[in-house]
Amino acid sequence: METIKSKRDFEKVFRGGKRLNHPLVRLTVSPVEGDGVGRIAYVAAKKLGCAPHRNRCKRVLRAAAAEADFPPEGFDVILFSTPATYEATSHEVAAALAKLRKRINA
């Protein structure tokens, strides 16, 4: 599993991406050009709270993505934590990702 790191790649996912929402997690997904392997990024905005709070949200997202086998093959995905992500377990977020995966058609 590769990580989206560059600003250019983030912008590409935002421009060509589809946004999906769930109370525990939001995501933006964009198809990869060619036969590229899917990549993923984890985002916790500063408005969610202090650094330890945001770090826990990103840890929960990472664990849930590993459990839900994210990203789907052929897609770049950006996962955004929500205020509810902090209180949720990685299993709950993984179940939310599984529901959103069906809407991606992957």
pLDDT tens, position by position, 71-101: 888 899 999 999 999 999 999 999 999 999 9
Q: What is the mean pLDDT of the chain?
A: 92
- Are 1 and 71 in contact, with CB atoms under 8 Å apart? yes
* DSSP structural state of residue 38: P
pTM of the shown model: 0.91
Model confidence over 53-78: pLDDT tens digits? 999 999 999 999 999 988 888 899 99
Structural domains of the chain sorted by starting position, each given as residue range(s) with its CATH number in brackets: 2-104 (3.30.230.10)
C-beta separation of 23 from 93 below 8 A: no
